[in-house]
Amino acid sequence: MADEAATAARPRALAPFLGHVGIGVAIALGVGALGAADGGYFPPSWGWTALVSLWLVGAWLLLGRAALNGGRLSALYAGGFAALAGWTWLSLAWTDNTVQTVLEGFRTLAYAGVAAALVLVVRSHAAPALLRGVAAAIAVISLYGLGTRLFPDRLGAYDPISGYRLSEPLGYGNGFGIFAAMGAILLLAILARDRSTVVRALAAGAFAPLLPAIYFTFSRGALIALAVGILAAIALDTRRLQLILALTAVGVFGLAGVWVGSQSEALTREDAPLSSAVDQGAEVAIILALLALLAAGANVALGLAERRVEPGRQVRLAFAAVIVLLAAAVVLGAFVRAGGPVNLVENAYDAFDTPPRQGADLGERLFTFSGSYRLETWGESIDQFSDNPVLGGGAGTYEQYWNANRPIEHKVRDAHTLYGETLGELGPLGLALLVFALVMPLVAAARSRVHPLAAGSFGAYVAYLVHAGIDWDWELPAVTVVALACGAALLVLRPRNNSPVAAGSRQRIAGAVAALVLSAVAFVGLVGSSALSASEEGAATRTPDWEKVEDDARKARRWMPWSSEPWQRLGEAQIDQERLPEARRSFRKAIEKEPDDWLLWFRLAEASSGADQREALAEARRLNPLNPEIAAFPQAGG
């Protein structure tokens, strides 16, 4: 009888384990897929993300398995993103650019769906599996990216002329940098605190080469965010000295890898020949592999020592004193070198305001503090808010505002600050909704800090919040979904005296219906954007199948009747085939839908002649006065 009871109990005991594994694998596949697909930058990725997350929400609600596992804060977290998505779509009522507002609505819908799925599905005992899955996905993607630098003849494309910063597969060096930095912080917590020795060793082995990967992005913002995130993790942690010790034991091998990489000219100079990059990359790869093994071994040894040796109170105090003295020496040295704190701030501002220096040695970039025209891009977001102080200009309209008002000839699509851009596009209420949603995990962190992995989740989340303030991380779902997962982990890890808040039957049915309706909206966006992407990719091939290119554009037009983009793609295909009258009709149709898009007027000018061409060109110039293509057009084809 006892044997039968034990046999029946095994499947019940195994079910939670399989559930945890499923959550870890699912988030790893999701983050990995987004990372591999250009960081999820393009609209089809948003469609898939929204569709999968909303289907999961609907299914969990209908099955009666959904519960707010982080209590009220989880409800406010998911509700904040849902409200932000609603406000984004509502801005269609006053936007200056319907096409971009709808696109921004689809992306924000994806984030709202992910946030809801995380807080409804992931429970406190499954949060460690969630964080391990996220860290594993980042490690795999980042190590692949590092491989494109070390083996340029086998992985990726070697193109030093376009910028020799590590960016693949996300496609943006700064985005890759913060992605890897968040992974490094999560791995730090895992290598220091995971119960499994094997998992700790694997985490340490992945942590060491991640630091050289971040270095090869030559992203100053990512390095600053990494430092701030690690400091935040240490500040929150209940066993700070042990975390610092683990960081020291493993980090020394990562820093050694950074030093080795920095000494390889062919890997740090834009003018390096491919043959030299191949040879030096192979040498560095061998050294990094050895350093990874040493880091894993050192971490295992540290774990064994922790079990056998319990340092006394005096030893811990002495170690803490050394750390404090070193930190104080660094701060004091910075003040002395700058001539005092006031001079330090003034010098930093002056350096930030200078244009970026151009040079072949990318390593020198890390020792400059140029903001790369961020003061100008930030200033325009404030100006956009000043012009629209109540509602903002409408979601996704920053690029259009920049083109019309920019003070310098510098091409950007985003303000390089999530908070300033949100204020300019969605006004004070939009910014308030964003901040409200993002602050919930920070509120929960004070109580979740008792969990061994909470510090890593907190550090990675803080790193994102810092970096999103100086770059366009929001436009890279691979990066933002990682932050959402870390935030959700902080919420569900918070100790609670009662069980998760379960919804009533009416609430579950209403929520499921809403999720399914929104998934239908996401499906429309997915089909339309996929057809549009197929048309664009088809036209870019060496021997385009123009019939299919145009068919895909027409399919996109049927699924996205509000958008000017299908008409634009159709017109561009017709120009390439020298069917100019048809191209002019297509561009005029596009302009009817989006009359303030300078590129549509410019394309119309390319397809026109005489007075019609001059009129179209004048309108394009009015909408984008500093555009060099427009300035060169009269000489090239006018």
- Is pLDDT at 161 greater than 50 in this prediction? no
Q: Are residues 258 and 231 in the same domain?
A: yes
pLDDT band of residue 635 (cuts 50, 70, 90) is very low
Question: For 267-306, how does the pLDDT look when each residue is reduced to its tens digit (9 = 90+)?
Answer: 888 878 888 888 999 999 999 999 999 999 999 999 888 8
Q: Are residues 350 and 267 in the same domain?
A: no
Question: For 543-573, how does the pLDDT look when each residue is reduced to its tens digit (9 = 90+)?
Answer: 899 999 999 999 999 999 999 999 999 999 9
Q: Are residues 219 and 321 in the same domain?
A: no
Structural domain includes residue 598: no
pLDDT at site 4: 53
Between 626 and 334, the more confident residue is 626
Question: If residue 501 lies in a helix (H) or strand (E), which one and from where to where?
Answer: strand 501-502
Residues 6+ apart with CB under 8 A from 142: 176, 179, 180, 183, 210, 213
Dist. CA 595–CA 432, nearest whole Å: 31
Q: Are residues 348 and 459 in the same domain?
A: no
Q: Are residues 397 and 294 in the same domain?
A: yes
Q: Are residues 479 and 337 in the same domain?
A: no
- Is pLDDT at 638 greater than 50 in this prediction? no
Q: What is the mean pLDDT of residues 13-25?
A: 76
- Is pLDDT at 601 greater than 90 in this prediction? yes
pLDDT at site 627: 93
Structural domain includes residue 563: no
Structural domain includes residue 117: yes
pLDDT at site 92: 96
Chosen domain end from 496, 513, 547: 496
pLDDT at site 195: 87
pLDDT at site 320: 66
Residue/partner pairs of 363-367 with CB below 8 Å, 24 or more apart: 363/218, 363/262, 363/268, 365/218, 365/220, 366/218, 366/220, 366/223
Between 632 and 2, the more confident residue is 632
pLDDT at site 636: 45
- Is pLDDT at 385 greater than 50 in this prediction? yes
pLDDT at site 498: 52
Question: For 336-379, how does the pLDDT look when each residue is reduced to its tens digit (9 = 90+)?
Answer: 666 677 776 777 777 788 888 776 677 788 888 888 899 999 99
Whole-number Cα distances in Å, 155 to 261, 281, 309: 18, 12, 45
Q: Is 46 helix (H, G, I), strand (E, B) or coil?
A: helix
| CB neighbour burial string for 142-177, b if at least 16 within 10 angstroms, e if fewer | bbbbbbbbbebeebbebebeeebbbbbbbebbbbbb
pLDDT at site 144: 95
Q: Are residues 127 and 202 in the same domain?
A: yes
Q: Are residues 466 and 341 in the same domain?
A: no
Residues 6+ apart with CB under 8 A from 38: 45, 169, 170, 171
Question: For 487-542, how does the pLDDT look when each residue is reduced to its tens digit (9 = 90+)?
Answer: 999 999 987 655 566 666 778 888 889 999 999 999 999 999 999 999 999 998 88
- Is pLDDT at 637 greater than 50 in this prediction? no
Question: For 237-276, how does the pLDDT look when each residue is reduced to its tens digit (9 = 90+)?
Answer: 988 888 999 999 999 999 999 999 999 988 888 878 888 8
| CB neighbour burial string for 553-585, b if at least 16 within 10 angstroms, e if fewer | bebbbebbeebbbbbbbbbbbbbeeebeebbbb
pLDDT above 90 as % of the chain = 69
pLDDT at site 496: 66
Between 137 and 238, the more confident residue is 137
Q: Under a CB-based contact definition with an 8 Å cutoff, are residues 158 and 185 in contact?
A: no
- Neighbouring CB atoms inside 10 A of 507's CB total 12
- Torsion sign across C-alpha atoms 335, 339, 342, 347: negative
pLDDT at site 354: 84
Q: Are residues 404 and 339 in the same domain?
A: no
Chosen domain end from 496, 512, 544: 496
Q: Are residues 347 and 490 in the same domain?
A: no
Q: What are phi and psi of 498, to 5 degrees?
A: -125, 175
Structural domain includes residue 551: no
- Torsion sign across C-alpha atoms 485, 422, 519, 536: negative
Average pLDDT, the chain: 89
What residue spans of 237-273 are helical by DSSP H? 240-262, 265-268
Look at 41-50, 59-68, 154-163, 187-196 and tell me which has the smallest mean pLDDT: 154-163
Structural domain includes residue 515: no
pLDDT band of residue 162 (cuts 50, 70, 90) is very low
pLDDT at site 263: 92
pLDDT at site 560: 95
Dist. CA 150–CA 254, nearest whole Å: 16
pLDDT at site 625: 95
pLDDT band of residue 130 (cuts 50, 70, 90) is very high
* Closest-CA residue to 227 (of 284, 175, 185, 171): 185
Q: Are residues 262 and 158 in the same domain?
A: yes
Structural domain includes residue 572: no
Q: Under a CB-based contact definition with an 8 Å cutoff, are residues 249 and 200 in contact?
A: no
Between 631 and 320, the more confident residue is 631
Total domain count, the chain = 2
Structural domain includes residue 187: yes
Structural domain includes residue 526: no
Q: Is 516 helix (H, G, I), strand (E, B) or coil?
A: helix
Chosen domain end from 496, 531, 560: 496
Compute and round to an integer the Cα radius of gyration of the chain. 26
Q: Are residues 431 and 373 in the same domain?
A: yes
Q: What is the mean pLDDT of residues 463-477?
A: 96
Dist. CA 490–CA 485, nearest whole Å: 9
Q: Which domain holds residue 348?
A: 311-354
